[in-house]
């Protein structure tokens, strides 16, 4: 059975590739369970000799790590919802409504995609200071609401929805808003999933802006908190890895639950509506 | 199209919520930043108008050019590999293997982790003295490698971490593209006697061109904006050899507080990304015709 | 589907509650009880533990003031501080490196402290570190410590190599390092020369020290140009290069953390770092070391140094009660700096320096004596960028063994270009 043995080789190869790809994560967990003196040593051990949760206790005890997770969650969820609420109507307008200046406006918005965020930081910081909302979660949310790529994805999808469906609604006497809510939004659910997932991931992983905008450690996001945790623990690798595990666990759980939705959602980016 | 055409009014109404936010948090700061780029300003004192001096200075700033070059290096080192890696992964997860579901999950999972976690993790794995790669090398009787502390390796090491982190994203896009190719094309190819490799080269790759272009555009923009991995893993070192443009912008702006200069450089970066994207869009446009 | 919708809505509600609830929390704390003061610190790693312990002790020592401390990692500290100062959202007390004062004082963001501090308190301070905090005749900060670069030597390795005296000249140092390498198989010296968590600051610190030891200086007297592209700079650079390259007694591509770890593990005989490493090294089991002021390798005694200082930011509505409380805090911290000396830092008040608690600690008295030969930081706003950039250039020159004359030319040009921007 030549074919059979070839298959076995392929499976082994695949398992090997999976193992390599997943190994960094395994190593992160293993390191976090060791004592520091077992990590910084020339005597290499793979598995922890005395497995310990000490690093986790320390991480929870000495920082606001739980609070940071909640902050990140709040920021990400709020950003996700409002991004969609802002993006969907304008994407619909770009796709289906013929109004003067539409094309120019569209390209202006798309150009926003290419703006390096560093350009905006100083002006934004001064702006938010004058509003008196610097150092609040709100300040971490607002600049991230305008997500041009979301508009791009939604517009592509909405363009593919047959105009006949809309016209039928108009004939029934529905207005724009009603048509949008009753027909376009339900049909565009797949694209909507993509946009909210992208918005969520973007917000969750945001680093530079919250680093500058938020100065009280209670209000840190998890990315900023972990960077700070790492910076203040220098070479305590086991401790740093414990922090990394805590920071990534919620993401991992979130991903495993919505795995299909997330992957299919991102796949949408590449498909024409 | 619609009786009593209200398109203009509707168009404006539907665009308005986004445009308000966009104007407040994108256009306004953008214009303000441009304005700042004509000043010498340390954020605390009074800005001093120096016209185009910042732009002239950066033309002869050796660190600006070297940072730009490092950024370009990073783009060139990551983009092709990430596309190929994503494509190979996509082939694996669209094949007949019973493990394809697990593979898809595993390949994609790094993408959901935040940059700080990924960069910290890889900095630890590649740590020169106690990192696992070098520990294993030493057990095998070899010398440890200066992954992050040697000029010839550092940018590659950052790239490796980036491959691991974002290849899964490209995989998903390619997978979607592959799934759209009709089964019949492959079936008829099999009938004609084409082997799996021939099918990949003569069917899959040509038909994936649109997906590839999309991946390319997204990847180039993302790579040009690289900052976090470098900042956490090498801090721009050794000897500034991995300092990328965004990091230099950040340093001049937020370590040395030369706000005007920093703003001027970010506008140059903006311009570069804009030009590259427009060129790419032009290619994309030709495909659509 | 509906369930998920409910969950999302619940999260949003929760979220908005949290956003708006957080300021409310602060308000209720302010109405009664002790005065709440906010403080940002940049002390990390070993230093951080000692500092946090001090804050705890301060809070426990009285019930009038309650200090909350946010530890910010060093890389981000000045970024955050400066943006906060620009926005008027800085905390009540801050810590600043003395070398950085010049970046903040001219813009009027720091409170002049003269009228708030009693002469009694002032007269207790050592004059050099105190005067370094004075600009245009006004006092803008209070020195908390002085932290020069010092030399740490591993006792066991030196004994094994038959080195009985701590080397005092560059030649003696090289001979000792070579002896260690030959007889013990470990490294002679552990000077970090590559960017890791930090840049190769140690190279800059040593370069500054060596140039000054020969009677040179980094910048011209009027601070308008680089002044190290001469034989002083050449000797200093060649010596640093030689240890790594020709002599091979110092590992190449060694970063700060690795150097510290290797010294802790007994893998090198001499190690150079600021006094702040002392406490951490003392806590390392199985490590016996001697700490000594930087030897006069190239002539006279001179060592790079900096100083942590406390300052009070100018607020839009400065609350005199808080200023007074902040001064009390600063007074307590500096007067109890023997606790801070546990980390290795040198106190600035005579009463502490002469006190028993400080003198019981090993080496510290020697350090204190060395304070007389520290090199003041050039008072120019450009120094921060020069210091960072020189670390990159020296790293390149040492790790790649570049031609010293070319490297020095390049360093000089870069420094002059930087100065022209300020």
- Given a contact cutoff of 8 angstroms between Cβ atoms, the answer to whether B74 and B223 are in contact is yes
H-helix or E-strand containing C38? strand C35-41
Q: pLDDT, tens digit, for every residue of A158-213?
A: 988 888 888 888 888 888 888 899 888 998 888 888 888 888 888 888 888 898 88
Residue showing tokens 């370094």: C132
- Same structural domain for residues C94 and C235? no
| C198 or A15, higher pLDDT | A15
- Is C258 within 8 Å of B235 when comparing Cβ atoms? no
Question: Are residues C85 and C161 located together in one domain of the fold?
Answer: no
Q: Is the ipTM of this complex over 0.95?
A: no
Does domain A60-270 fall under CATH 3.30.420.40? My reply is no
**Is the model's pLDDT at A115 over the cut of 50?**
yes
Of the candidates C79, C106, C255, the beta carbon closest to that of B255 is on C79
pTM over 0.95: no
Q: What is the pLDDT of residue B132?
A: 93
Residue C26's pLDDT is what?
Answer: 43
**Number of neighbouring beta carbons within 10 Å of residue A254:** 17
pLDDT at C79 over 60: yes
C86 neighbourhood in chain A, CB within 8 Å: 125-126, 129
Torsion of CA B78, B143, C289, C349, to 10 degrees: -10
Surface of B (51-70) touching C: CB under 8 A: 57, 61-63
* Residues C201, C277 within the same domain: yes
Domains: count for chain C: 2
Structure tokens at A95: 């796709």
Supply the pLDDT for residue C45: 66
DSSP string, chain A: -HHHHHHHHHHHHHHHHHHHHHHHHHHHHHHHTS-HHHHSSSS--SS-SS---HHHHHHHHHS-HHHHHHHHHHHHHHHHHHHHHHHHHHHHHHHH---TTHHHHHHHHHHGGG--THHHHHHHHHHHHHHT-TTSHHHHHGGGS--HHHHHHHHHHHHTS-HHHHHHHHHTT--HHHHIIIIIHHHTHHHHHHHHHHHHHHHHH--HHHHHH--SGGG--HHHHHHHHHHHHTT-HHHHHHHHHHHHHHHHHHHHHTHHHHHHHHHHHHS--
Indicate if the pLDDT at residue C213 is higher than 80. yes
Tell me: do C170 and C233 sit in the same domain: yes
Maximum Cα interatomic distance, chain A, rounded to a whole number of Å: 79
Question: Where does the pLDDT of residue A271 fall: very low under 50, low under 70, confident under 90, or very high at 90 and above?
Answer: low
Residue B12 has pLDDT above 60, yes or no: yes
Domain boundary among C375, C390, C405: C375
Residues of A with a Cβ under 8 Å from any C Cβ are: 40-42, 70-71, 73-75, 77-78, 81, 125-126, 129, 134-138, 211-212, 215-219, 227-228, 230-235
- When pLDDT is averaged across residues B162-189 and rounded to a whole number, the result is 90
**Pick the residue with more confidence: A155 or B286?**
A155
Same domain, C287 and C185: yes
| Cα distances (angstroms) measured from residue A152 to each of A155, A217, A269, C335 | 5, 36, 9, 62
Q: Identify each DSSP E strand in C261-338 by its residue range.
A: 268-274, 289-293, 303-304, 308-311
> Is A79 a residue whose pLDDT tops 50?
yes
By percentage, how much of chain B surpasses pLDDT 70?
96
CB atoms within 10 A of CB C4: 9
Helix axes B7-22, A102-111, angle to 10 degrees: 20
Of B81-95, B217-231, C209-223, C391-405, where does mean pLDDT reach its minimum? B217-231
Task: List the single range of B80-84, B255-259, C15-19, C305-309 with lowest mean pLDDT.
Answer: C15-19
Please indicate, yes or no, if residue C192 is contained in any of the structural domains.
yes
Domains in chain B: ranges and CATH: 60-288 (1.10.3720.10)
Q: Is the pLDDT of residue C291 over 50?
A: yes
Mode of pairing for the β-strands spanning C35-41 and B39-40? unpaired
| A162/B contact by beta carbon, under 8 A | no
The total of other beta-carbon atoms located within 10 Å of residue A104's CB is 9
Q: How far is CA A70 from CA A15, A82, B268, in A?
A: 36, 18, 37
Give yes or no for a contact between A119 and B33, defined as CB atoms under 8 angstroms apart: yes
Residues C162 and C258 in one domain: yes
With contact defined as beta carbons under 8 Å apart, do A78 and C10 qualify?
no
Please give the Cα distance from C213 to A28 (Å, whole number): 47
> How far apart (Å, rounded) are the C-alpha atoms in residues A268 and A265?
5
C202 and C275 together in one domain = yes
Greater pLDDT, A41 or C55: C55
Of the residues C337, C352, C375, the one at which a domain ends: C375
Q: Which of A215, A219, A227, A233 to mutate to test the interface with C (most CBs of C within 10 A)?
A: A215
Interface probe, candidates C3, C9, C11, C15, chain A, greatest A C-beta count within 10 A: C15
C-beta atoms of C19 and A216 within 8 A: no
- Percent of chain B scored above 90 by pLDDT? 47
Number of Cβ within 10 Å of residue C222's Cβ equals 7
- Per-residue pLDDT at A64 exceeds 90: no
On whether both C293 and C348 belong to a single domain, the answer is no
pLDDT tops 60 at residue C280: yes
C236 with C180, same domain: the answer is yes
Domain that holds residue C63: 39-146+307-375
C156 shares its domain with C250: yes
pLDDT (0 to 100) of residue A189: 87
Distance from CA of B215 to the nearest CA of A (A): 8
Q: What is the pLDDT of residue C28?
A: 42
pLDDT for residue A197: 85
Q: Which CATH number does the domain housing residue C153 bear?
A: 3.40.190.10
Domain ranges in chain A? 60-270
Name the residue among A27, A116, A268 with its Cβ closest to that of B273: A116
Residue B235 is predicted with a pLDDT of 87
Closest residue in C to A41 (Cα–Cα): C265
Q: Are residues C337 and C280 in the same domain?
A: no
Q: Which chains touch B (3 or more CB pairs under 8 A)?
A: A, C
What token pair was written down for C368? 């204190």
Query: Strand (E) positions, chain A?
Result: none
Flag if C199 and B237 touch (Cβ within 8 Å): yes
Inter-chain contact A244–B117, Cβ cutoff 8 Å?
Answer: yes
Q: With respect to residue C33, please indicate whether it lies within any of the assigned structural domains.
A: no
What's the confidence (pLDDT) of residue C9?
A: 55
Of B100-114, C25-39, C192-206, C248-262, the poorest mean pLDDT is in: C25-39
Distances (CA, A) of A20 to A23, A26, B168, B182, C34: 5, 10, 14, 32, 56
User: What is the spatial distance between Cα B132 and Cα A38, in angstroms, rounded to a whole number?
Assistant: 13
> Does residue A2 have a pLDDT over 80?
no
Task: Specify the pLDDT at position C12.
Answer: 54
How confident is the model over C394-416, as pLDDT tens digits?
999 999 999 999 999 999 999 99
Task: For residue C319, give both structure tokens.
Answer: 């609350």
The pLDDT-based confidence of C43 (bands split at 50, 70, 90) is confident
Higher local confidence (pLDDT), C153 or A170:
C153
| Listed residue (C255, C342, B127) closest to A240, CA to CA | B127
Asked if residues C303 and C272 have their Cβ atoms less than 8 Å apart, the reply is: no
How many other CB atoms sit within 10 Å of the CB of residue B12? 16
Counted across chains A and C, CB pairs separated by less than 8 A come out at 91
- Beta-carbon separation of B43 and C82 below 8 A: yes
In terms of CA atoms, which chain A residue is nearest residue B36?
Answer: A123
Residue C339 and residue C228 in one domain:
no
């Amino acid at each position: 059975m030549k074919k059979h043995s070839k298959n076995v080789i392929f499976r082994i190869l695949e398992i090997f590739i999976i193992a390599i790809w997943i190994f960094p994560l395994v190593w992160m967990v293993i390191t976090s369970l060791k004592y520091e003196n077992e990590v910084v040593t020339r005597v290499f051990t793979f598995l922890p000799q005395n497995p310990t949760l000490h690093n986790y206790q320390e991480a929870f005890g000495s920082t606001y790590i739980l609070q940071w997770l909640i902050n990140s969650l709040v920021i990400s969820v709020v950003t996700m919802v409002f991004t969609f609420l802002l993006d969907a109507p304008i994407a619909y307008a770009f796709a289906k409504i013929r109004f003067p200046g539409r094309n120019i406006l569209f390209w202006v918005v798309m150009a926003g995609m290419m703006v390096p965020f560093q350009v905006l930081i100083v002006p934004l910081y001064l702006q938010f200071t004058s509003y008196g909302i610097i150092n609040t979660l709100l300040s971490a949310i607002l600049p991230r609401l305008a997500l041009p790529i979301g508009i791009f994805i939604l517009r592509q999808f909405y363009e593919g929805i047959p105009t006949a469906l809309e016209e039928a609604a108009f004939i029934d006497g529905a207005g724009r808003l009603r048509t949008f809510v009753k027909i376009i939004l339900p049909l565009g659910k797949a694209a909507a999933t993509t946009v909210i997932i992208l918005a969520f991931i973007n917000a969750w992983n945001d680093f530079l802006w919250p680093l500058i905008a938020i100065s009280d450690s209670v209000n840190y996001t998890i990315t900023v908190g972990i960077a700070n945790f790492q910076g203040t623990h220098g070479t305590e690798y086991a401790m740093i890895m414990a922090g990394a595990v805590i920071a990534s666990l919620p993401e991992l759980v979130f991903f495993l639950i919505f795995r299909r939705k997330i992957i299919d959602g991102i796949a949408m980016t590449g498909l024409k509506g | 199209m619609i009786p009593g055409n209200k398109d203009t009014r509707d168009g404006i109404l539907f665009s308005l919520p986004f445009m308000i936010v966009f104007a407040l948090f994108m256009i306004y700061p953008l214009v303000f930043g441009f304005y700042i780029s004509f000043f010498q300003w340390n954020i605390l004192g009074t800005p001093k108008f120096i016209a185009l001096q910042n732009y002239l200075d950066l033309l002869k700033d050796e660190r600006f050019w070297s940072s730009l070059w490092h950024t370009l290096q990073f783009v060139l080192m990551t983009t092709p590999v990430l596309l190929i890696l994503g494509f190979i992964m996509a082939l694996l997860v669209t094949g007949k293997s019973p493990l394809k579901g697990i593979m898809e999950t595993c390949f994609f999972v790094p993408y959901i982790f935040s940059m700080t976690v990924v960069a910290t993790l890889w900095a630890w794995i590649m740590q020169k003295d106690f990192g696992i790669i070098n520990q294993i090398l030493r057990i095998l009787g070899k010398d440890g490698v200066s992954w992050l502390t040697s000029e010839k390796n550092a940018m590659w090491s950052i790239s490796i971490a980036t491959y691991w982190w974002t290849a899964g994203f490209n995989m998903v896009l390619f997978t979607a593209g592959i799934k759209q190719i009709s089964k019949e094309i492959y079936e008829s190819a099999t009938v004609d006697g084409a082997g799996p490799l021939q099918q990949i080269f003569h069917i899959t790759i040509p038909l994936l061109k649109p997906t590839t272009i999309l991946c390319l555009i997204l990847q180039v923009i993302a790579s040009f904006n690289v900052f976090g991995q470098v900042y956490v893993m090498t801090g721009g070192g050794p000897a500034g050899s991995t300092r990328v443009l965004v990091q230099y912008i950040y340093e001049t702006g937020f370590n040395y507080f030369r706000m005007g200069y920093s703003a001027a450089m970010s506008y140059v970066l903006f311009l570069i990304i804009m030009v590259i994207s427009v060129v790419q869009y032009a290619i994309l446009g030709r495909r659509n015709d | 589907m509906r369930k998920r919708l409910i969950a999302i809505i619940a999260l949003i509600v929760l979220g908005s509650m949290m956003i708006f609830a957080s300021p409310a929390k602060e308000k209720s704390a302010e109405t009664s009880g002790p005065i709440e003061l906010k403080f940002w610190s940049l002390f990390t790693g070993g230093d951080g533990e000692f500092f946090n312990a001090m804050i705890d002790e301060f809070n426990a020592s009285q019930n009038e003031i309650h200090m909350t401390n946010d530890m910010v990692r060093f890389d981000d500290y000045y970024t955050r501080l400066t943006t906060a100062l620009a926005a008027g959202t800085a905390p009540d007390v801050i810590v600043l490196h003395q070398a950085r004062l010049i970046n903040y004082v001219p813009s009027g963001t720091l409170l002049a402290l003269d009228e708030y501090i009693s002469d009694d308190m002032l007269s207790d301070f050592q004059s050099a570190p105190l005067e370094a905090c004075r600009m245009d005749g006004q006092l803008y900060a209070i020195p908390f410590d002085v932290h020069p670069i010092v030399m740490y030597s591993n006792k066991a390795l030196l004994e094994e190599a038959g080195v009985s005296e701590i080397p005092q000249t560059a030649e003696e140092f090289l001979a000792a390092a070579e002896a260690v390498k030959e007889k013990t198989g470990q490294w002679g010296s552990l000077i970090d020369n590559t960017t890791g968590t930090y840049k190769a600051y140690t190279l800059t610190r040593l370069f500054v020290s060596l140039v000054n030891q020969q009677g040179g200086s980094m910048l011209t007297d009027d601070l308008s140009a680089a002044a190290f592209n001469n034989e002083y700079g050449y000797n200093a650079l060649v010596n640093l290069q030689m240890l790594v390259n020709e002599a091979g007694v110092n590992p190449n591509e060694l970063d700060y953390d690795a150097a510290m770890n290797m010294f802790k593990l007994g893998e090198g005989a001499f190690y150079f770092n600021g006094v702040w490493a002392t406490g951490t090294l003392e806590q390392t089991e199985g490590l016996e070391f001697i700490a000594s002021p930087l030897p006069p390798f190239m002539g006279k005694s001179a060592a790079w140094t900096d100083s942590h200082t406390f300052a009070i930011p100018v607020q839009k509505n400065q609350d005199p009660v808080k200023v007074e409380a902040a001064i009390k805090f600063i007074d307590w911290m500096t007067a109890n700096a023997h606790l801070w000396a546990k980390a290795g830092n040198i106190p600035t008040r005579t009463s502490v320096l002469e006190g028993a608690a400080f003198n019981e600690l090993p080496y510290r008295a020697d350090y204190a004596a060395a304070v007389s030969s520290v090199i003041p930081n050039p008072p120019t706003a450009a120094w921060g960028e020069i210091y960072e950039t020189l670390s990159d250039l020296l790293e390149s020159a040492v790790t790649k063994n570049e031609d010293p004359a070319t490297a020095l030319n390049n360093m000089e040009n870069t420094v002059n270009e930087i100065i022209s921007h300020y």
